[in-house]
Amino acid sequence: MDLLIWPEWPLALGALFPVAIALVATALVGEAGGRFGIPRVSGYALAGLVLGPLLLGWFDANDLAGHRLIIDFTIALVLFELGIRFDLRWLTANRWIVATSVGEMALTFALTFGALWAVGTGTGIALAVAAIAVGTSPVILMHVTNELRASGQTTDRLLALCALNVAVSVILLKLLVGALHGVHSGWQLALLHPLYLLLGSVLAGAVIAAAYLGLRKLVDPASEQGLAAMIALLLAAIALLTALRLPTALAPLVAGALIKWRDPRPHLWPQQFGSIGGVLVIVIFMLAGAAVSAGELFAGAGLGILAIVARAAGKFGGAIAFGPPSGLDLRKSLALGVGLLPLSVLALLLAEDVRLLYPDFGARLLPIVMAMTVVLGLLGPIATRRALIRVRETRRGDLP
Amino acid sequence: MSLETFASSRALSMGVELELQLVSTHDYDLVASAEDLLRMMARKDVPGDVKPEMTCSMIEVSTGICNDYACVAEELEALRSALTEAARKLNIGICGGGTHAFQDWGERRIFDKPRFHYLSDLYGYLAKQFTVFGQHVHIGCPGPDAALYLLHGMSRYIPHLIALSASSPYVQGKDTGFQSARLNSVFAFPLSGRAPFVETWQDFETYFAKMTDTGVVQSMKDFYWDIRPKPEYGTIEVRVMDTPLTIGRAAAIAAYIQAIARYLMIERPIRLAEDDYLVYTFNRFQACRFGFAGTYVHPETHEHRTVAEEIEASFARIEQHAIELGCDAPLGELLREVREGRNDATWLRERHTNGESLPELVMGQCVRWMGGEPM
C-alpha cells in the first residue's frame, strides 16, 4: 500500500492557499469600498495592512522581498502608461506647467525638510523624507483616474505633475544616497553615481521606447501577441535595469514619454492589459502591507504626521500659486493640490532600498515613511477622487 | 412673449457660426474643457465671438458681420489661430466634423448655464445626444418679406449644402452608412424640420402667435428648423451644414450660400408654392445618406437627377453673382471637389476603411482643423 497516492490528513496545502484567500479578500475589500464611493485602491491598501504584520501577520517582510519582481513589474507598467500620457510638447507650449511642477516640488521639499529639521530629526533623515515627500503615488493616481474615467485640465495636469515629481523624487533620493556615499567613500563616487543613474535611466528609456515602437510595427498592441510582446519587453527591461543597478522606476517613465514624443498618435492600452494591470495592483497593495509593522508605525507616527502636513502645504501652495497663470481657475488649482496628495507603495520601496544599503540610516527613515504611506495610501485616493468629482472631470456621470 | 420686429440689416451681409469639438490629446475622446478654453479666449483680442454650447466638450465660434468671402475667411483664420494657440496651452485638440466618431453620449456633461439645464431637463437624453456640431450661416435680408422669400427659395438648396458639408459618417464608434448622420439627431426634436409655408411676415407673425398660444413655444429659439428667420438680426439662418473639417471649406460654403442668396434676391427666379415641399424631406434624406450620389427630385418638374448634377447646374446659374461678390475662386474649388465626388465624409471613410483607428482618425481631424489646412 503506497501512501504517496493518497492525500495526507490534515491537508498539506503549501503556501499558495493563503495567498489565494488573501487575494480574494483584498479584491473584495476594494469592491466593498467601491460601493460606498471609496476608491478601490483605498480598500486594497486597507486589506494589505490587515493581512500584514500590523494585524493578522499573513505576510511579512520576507514576502515583500520574495515578490519584489511582481511589485517592480507593476510599478514599471504603471509608470510606462503614465509616461505615454505625458506629452513633452505640452511643456514647451505652456511653460507655466513646468513652473507649477517646479514650484510644488520645491515648496514641498523645502517645507518638509524645514519641518523635520526644526524638530531635530537630523539633516540626513530630514533630507531623505523631503525627497520622498516630493513624489506622488503614480499607482493610485492612475487607478483613481481610470476608475472615474476622469479627463480634463485637472486630470491632465495631475498626471503630468505626478510623472515629473516621481522622476525628481527618485533622483533626489539617489542623490542623497550618493551624498551618503561621499561620506563613506570619497567625492568621485558621490558625483559619478547620480550621473550614472540619471543618464543610464534616460538611455535605457530610449532603448525601451525604440523596442516598443519597433514591436508596434510588427504586432498590434491590442492583440494577444502584442500583449505578450509588451510584457516580455518590460520584463526584459527590469532584468536589464536590475543588472545595471539602475532604478526600475525611472526608465519605463522616460520610455513612455519618449514614445509619445516620437509618435503622437493615441497609444491606447489594450483591454486585457488593463485587466492584468488591475490584478497586479491588487497584488502589490496586498504585499505592501507586509512592510508595515505596529512597532515601527507607532515610532514614526508623530514625525510622519508632521511630514504629511508640511507636504500638503507644499503641494497646495505650489498648485495655487502657479495654477491660475497656467490656465486653471482657482477651484481647479485647489483640486490639483488635493489630487497630488496620495503616497504609497513606491515611496515605501524607495525607503526599503535605502535600508538595504544603509541599515542604520534606513531603520530611522523607514518608520516615518511608513506612517506617511499608511495615511496617504488610505486617505490619499479618497482626496484625489473627491477633488476630481468636485471639478466635474469624471465621465462616469454624477457620482457620490 | 411675442415675436421681435424684423431688424434691418445690410442685404447679403453674412455671419458664420461653427460648433467645434474639444478632444483629449491622449485618447482623442471628447473632453470637458470648454470652460477652461473660454476663460483663456476671454483674454484674447479676436474678431467675432466664442461661446459655450449645450455640453462641456463643445464651443461655438462666430464671425462678426461680414460683407464678403474674404472677410469671413480672414475672421475664421484669426479665430482658428487664437483657438489653436489656447488649445496647445491646454493640451487639447480642436476639430471639425458633424459628430464625434466614438464618444458615448452618456458621458457628456451639460454646460452650467440656466438655458442648457432647462433644455436638458426638458429633452432628457436628447440634450446630451445633441452633442453634434453644425455650421450656421446668417444672411442679411433687406426686409421681412424678402427674408421669407429667401428662406423658401433657399430650401431647394438644402440637399446641396448637406452634400457639400457632410462630415459625420460615424456615430458612437460605428459607421452609420450616412454621410451626414448629424441631422438625424436634430430630427429627434419635436420642433425641427422646416418653417411653415407662409410668404409674408404678417402671416408668419400670425403663425407664431398661434404657436405661442398653444404654449408649445416661447421664442424663435425653440424652433430647430433647417432654415429659420432671425428677426433680431434681420437675417435668415441656414442650419443644415455639418461643421466642415477645415475653415477653408466652411468659408467656401458660406460664400456659396451668399451667392445663391444674391441670385434669388436679384433674379427672383422661383415662384414659390406649398407643393415645393412635397419632395423636401425625401431630397434631404437622400443627401444625408448618399451625399453627392443621392437622388434629387426637382420640386417643380419632378425630374430625378443626382445631387452632384444639381450642384453643378446651380454653379452655372450663380456664376455671375459669385463673380460680383468676389467669391468665384473658392466656389471653383468647391466645384472641383464635387466633380471628384470628394467631401469630408469621404475623406473620413477612406482613412478608416484603410485601417486607421477612430482615435487616430479624430487626431487627423485635429491636424486638419488646427493646422489651418486648405479645403
**By the CB < 8 Å criterion, does A328 face chain B?**
yes
**By the CB < 8 Å criterion, does B89 face chain A?**
yes
Residues B6 and B201: beta-carbon distance below 8 Å: yes
How far, in Å, CA of B120 to CA of B56, rounded? Answer: 13
- Neighboring chain A residues of B107 at a CB cutoff of 8 Å: 149, 395-397
Work out the minimum CA distance from B16 to partner chain A, whole angstroms.
28
Contact A151 B31 (CB under 8 A): yes
CB pairs under 8 A between A and B: 67
How far, in Å, CA of A388 to CA of A115, rounded? Answer: 29
pLDDT at A358 over 70: yes
| Strand partners of residue B20 | B59
* Average confidence score pLDDT of chain A: 89
pLDDT in tens, B363-375: 999 999 999 998 8
- Provide the pLDDT for residue B232: 93
Contact A397 B31 (CB under 8 A): no
How far, in Å, CA of A264 to CA of B364, rounded? Answer: 11
Q: Which residues contact B205 (CB under 8 A, 6 or more apart)?
A: B2, B3
**By the CB < 8 Å criterion, does B24 face chain A?**
yes
pLDDT at A210 over 90: yes
User: DSSP assignment, residue A269?
Assistant: P
The Cα angle at residue B99 between residues B94 and B103, in degrees rounded to 5: 80
Cα dihedral A274, A278, A281, A285, rounded to 10, equals 170
How far, in Å, CA of A83 to CA of A66, rounded? Answer: 27
How far, in Å, CA of B25 to CA of A159, rounded? Answer: 13
- Provide the pLDDT for residue B126: 83
pLDDT at B323 over 90: yes
What percent of chain A has pLDDT above 70?
A: 94
Q: Closest residue of B to A81, CA-based?
A: B26
Q: Considering only residues A277 and A233, tell me which one the structure prediction assigns the higher pLDDT.
A: A233
- Provide the pLDDT for residue B1: 55
Q: Considering only residues B20 and A13, tell me which one the structure prediction assigns the higher pLDDT.
A: B20
- Provide the pLDDT for residue B37: 97
Task: Dig out the grid coordinates for A363 from the structure.
Answer: 531603520
- Neighboring chain A residues of B40 at a CB cutoff of 8 Å: 327
| Strand partners of residue B304 | B297
Grid cell 466593498 — which residue?
Answer: A32
Task: Dig out the grid coordinates for A11 from the structure.
Answer: 491537508
- Provide the pLDDT for residue A3: 66
pLDDT in tens, A186-201: 667 767 877 888 899 9
Residues 191-250 of A with CB under 8 A from B: none
* Residue A42 amino acid letter: S
Q: Which of A266, A328, A395 sits opposite B359 (nearest CB)?
A: A266
- Neighboring chain B residues of A87 at a CB cutoff of 8 Å: 25-26, 91
- Provide the pLDDT for residue A1: 55
Contact A327 B359 (CB under 8 A): no
- Provide the pLDDT for residue A219: 85
Residues B161 and B257: beta-carbon distance below 8 Å: yes
- Provide the pLDDT for residue B309: 97
Q: Closest residue of A to B30, CA-based?
A: A151
Most confident of A18-27, A66-75, A390-399, B165-174: B165-174
- Provide the pLDDT for residue A2: 62
pLDDT at A205 over 90: yes
**By the CB < 8 Å criterion, does A335 face chain B?**
no
**By the CB < 8 Å criterion, does B88 face chain A?**
yes
How far, in Å, CA of A253 to CA of A166, rounded? Answer: 9
At A144, is the pLDDT very low, low, confident or very high (cuts 50, 70, 90)? very high
Work out the minimum CA distance from A179 to partner chain B, whole angstroms.
38
What percent of chain B has pLDDT above 70?
A: 100
Of B34, B282, B288, B237, the closest CA to residue B135 belongs to B237
pLDDT in tens, B37-64: 999 999 999 999 999 999 999 999 999 9
Residues A149 and A385: beta-carbon distance below 8 Å: no
Cis link prior to B159 (omega < 30° from 0)? no
pLDDT in tens, A226-237: 888 888 999 999
- Neighboring chain A residues of B25 at a CB cutoff of 8 Å: 87, 90, 264
Contact B27 A151 (CB under 8 A): yes
Mean pLDDT of B212-241: 93
Mean pLDDT of B190-207: 93
Mean pLDDT of A20-40: 91
Residues B220 and B201: beta-carbon distance below 8 Å: no
**By the CB < 8 Å criterion, does B110 face chain A?**
no
**By the CB < 8 Å criterion, does B56 face chain A?**
yes
User: What is the C-alpha end-to-end distance of chain A, expressed in Å?
Assistant: 64
**By the CB < 8 Å criterion, does A397 face chain B?**
yes
DSSP A357-395: H-HHHHHHHHHHHHHHHHHHHHSHHHHHHHHHHHTT-BS
Strands B49-52 and B58-62 turn out to be antiparallel
Lowest-confidence range among A97-101, A122-126, A317-321?
A: A122-126
Angle A123-134/A345-357 helices, nearest 10 degrees?
Answer: 150
How far, in Å, CA of B59 to CA of A396, rounded? Answer: 21
- Provide the pLDDT for residue A65: 78
Q: Which residues contact B297 (CB under 8 A, 6 or more apart)?
A: B279, B282, B283, B303, B304
Q: Which of A87, A329, A392 sits opposite B109 (nearest CB)?
A: A392
Contact B88 A90 (CB under 8 A): yes
A355 C-beta neighbours (distance < 10 Å), count? 17
Lowest-confidence range among A9-18, A275-284, B52-61?
A: A9-18
List the single best residue of B25, B83, B358 to mutate versus A (max A Cβ within 10 A). B25
pLDDT in tens, A145-182: 999 999 999 999 999 999 999 999 998 998 887 777 66
- Neighboring chain A residues of B32 at a CB cutoff of 8 Å: 151-152, 392-393
pLDDT in tens, A109-118: 999 999 999 9
- Provide the pLDDT for residue A271: 64
Work out the minimum CA distance from B42 to partner chain A, whole angstroms.
12
Q: Considering only residues A226 and A203, tell me which one the structure prediction assigns the higher pLDDT.
A: A203
- Provide the pLDDT for residue A233: 92
Work out the minimum CA distance from B107 to partner chain A, whole angstroms.
5
Q: Which residues contact B273 (CB under 8 A, 6 or more apart)?
A: none
B189 C-beta neighbours (distance < 10 Å), count? 16
Contact B360 A266 (CB under 8 A): yes
pLDDT in tens, B277-321: 999 999 999 999 999 999 999 999 999 999 999 999 999 999 999
Q: Which SS3 state, helix, strand or coil, does residue B257 take?
A: helix
At A304, is the pLDDT very low, low, confident or very high (cuts 50, 70, 90)? very high
Task: Dig out the grid coordinates for B196 from the structure.
Answer: 411653415
**By the CB < 8 Å criterion, does A147 face chain B?**
no
pLDDT in tens, B132-166: 999 999 999 999 999 999 999 999 999 999 999 99
Task: Dig out the grid coordinates for B12 from the structure.
Answer: 447679403
Cα dihedral B237, B240, B245, B249, rounded to 10, equals -60
How far, in Å, CA of A286 to CA of B59, rounded? Answer: 45
**By the CB < 8 Å criterion, does B125 face chain A?**
no
User: DSSP assignment, residue B302?
Assistant: -
Q: Which of B26, B33, B35 sits opposite A266 (nearest CB)?
A: B26
Mean pLDDT of A216-223: 82
**By the CB < 8 Å criterion, does A152 face chain B?**
yes
How far, in Å, CA of B374 to CA of B157, rounded? Answer: 24
Residues A85 and A268: beta-carbon distance below 8 Å: no
